[in-house]
Amino acid sequence: MVDWIDAHQDEAIELLAETVNIGSGTMNHAGVRAVGDVMSRELDALGLATRWIDMPPEMDRAGHLFASKEGDGKKFLLIGHLDTVFESDDEFQAFTRDGNIGRGPGISDMKDGNAVLVYALKALQHIGALDDIAVTVAYTGDEEMTGKPLSISRKDLIEAGKWADITLGFEGAITTEGSDWATIARRSSSGWMLKTSGRQAHSSGVFSERVGAGAINEAARILDTFYNEVRGDYGLTFNAGTIQGGTTVNYDTAQNRGTTFGKTNVVPSEVIVDGGIRALSLEQLAVAKEKMEAIVANHLPHTSASISFVDSYPPMPPSDGNRKLAEQLSVVNQDLGRGPMKIWDPLRRGAADISFVAPYTDALAGMGALGKGGHTPNESLELDSMALAIKRAAILMYRLSGTAEQP
């Protein structure tokens, strides 16, 4: 397999370039489907049965590409995503190459991983091992901005997770200071919105028994108390991303932008704070929410406040099963001459689709190639790391499948 992968790395890079040159921002439905068509072509050729899963029109999402085949031994779920953060009006639209460095929208998040996944299966097919392996491939079309409700947009992925024994997520790998890192945990991603109100009045009366503290002071109290009383538990972070406050506030939650009006001699009547929260377990998230709600309920004079939460991605806790997978990946890495792999700090990675299946299957994330600058116009990839990622995935699957003799 190693020799075959080395001989076909350029073909894998060509597939990567083909998909990078197709703009597929989440809201560019035609582009997402076009990338899906390319990946479907590749998976059909491998003998997998492909299907496009449409989302209801009101969800305003393109849908997902799933593919599967039957087999004996361990059942593998392989996860990628077709969409990027770069919409059709973005100037960053094309693949370019300068020696070993490739650049383009989504090249490392995660069109490299999509191609790595395909070529790992091709390598297994080359040695006659793929026929014996049960595989489901899930390419979601809205990973960068999940369609709501999640009960619909992630229904098929969760069902695949319940079927699988092992899940591999093909977002980018991590190498720093000469060390390779395995990803066994990812944090959740939820949103929260704080709204406060106060009694609008001339500012000469602020803090009086008649006027009270005003909406902005109430919001400031709450945010400061969050910082002092909720912060501190490892794995838990929360961020206030935007704040609008004054006598008139208009905020568009879909666009994360708004306008506000107020005067220095008027006590403000309204504040909206839009934020996010991440946790390493569902229990940790629940405790943090309870603390935040209790703080919000303790109002300053003549003010009121409320907080609401919207969950997007659940956490992928660092389970014992995930650690065992990481140990086996580390052996593969050493056999490839790169040394043992360490465990990456989950605080340094974002959320991902693999978290939806974490309760049901052992899982490893970060099985893609080596890139950087994701979600920016500087997104790039070390092209020769495509072969490395393909080797890691193919050898790991071969050894875990139950069809191979262990070294």
Full pLDDT tens readout for the chain, 407 residues: 999 999 999 999 999 999 999 999 999 999 999 999 999 999 999 999 999 999 999 999 999 999 999 998 899 999 999 999 999 988 898 999 999 999 999 999 999 999 999 999 999 999 999 999 999 999 999 999 999 999 999 999 999 999 999 999 999 999 998 899 999 999 999 999 999 999 999 999 999 999 999 999 999 999 999 999 999 999 999 999 999 999 999 999 877 889 999 999 999 999 999 999 999 999 999 999 999 999 999 999 999 999 999 998 999 999 999 999 999 999 999 999 999 999 999 988 888 999 999 999 999 999 999 999 998 999 999 999 999 999 999 999 999 997 655 44
The length of the chain in residues reads: 407
pLDDT of residue 403: 65
Q: Which long-range contacts (CB under 8 A, 24 or more apart) does 333-341 make?
A: 333/180, 333/392, 335/395, 335/407, 336/2, 336/388, 336/391, 336/392, 336/395, 338/180, 338/388, 339/179, 339/180, 341/179, 341/180, 341/181, 341/182
φ, ψ of residue 300 in degrees (nearest 5): -70, 165
Q: Which positions ≥6 away from 342 have C-beta within 8 Å?
A: 179, 180, 181, 182
Measuring CA to CA, which residue among 199, 220, 193, 227 is closest to residue 211?
199
pLDDT of residue 85: 94
2-186+316-400 shares its CATH topology with 189-313: no
Strands 362-364 and 266-267: unpaired
Where are the domains positioned within the chain? 2-186+316-400, 189-313
- Which pair of tokens denotes residue 162? 């319940």
The CATH homologous superfamily to which domain 2-186+316-400 belongs is: Zn peptidases (3.40.630.10)
pLDDT of residue 275: 97
Q: Where are the alpha helices (DSSP H) in 21-111?
A: 29-45
Contact 356, 169 (CB under 8 A): no
Contact 394, 140 (CB under 8 A): no
pLDDT of residue 254: 79
Domain 189-313 classified CATH 3.30.9.10?
no
Q: How far, in Å, CA of 117 to CA of 124, rounded? A: 11
- C-alpha torsion 393→398→399→400, nearest 10: 80
By CB neighbour count within 10 A (0-12 exposed, 13-18 middle, 19+ buried), where does 7 fall? exposed
Measuring CA to CA, which residue among 171, 183, 167 is closest to residue 75?
167
Scan for tokens 């107020």, then name that residue: 262
Strands 237-246 and 270-278: antiparallel
Q: How far is CA 268 from CA 232, 265, 367, in A?
A: 31, 9, 50
- Which pair of tokens denotes residue 252? 């568009």
Scan for tokens 């076909």, then name that residue: 8
pLDDT of residue 178: 84
Three-class SS of 153-184: HCHHHHHHHHHCCEEEECCCEEEECCEEEEEC
Q: How far, in Å, CA of 232 to CA of 236, rounded? A: 7
pLDDT of residue 406: 46
Q: State the chain's maximal CA–CA distance in angstroms.
A: 82
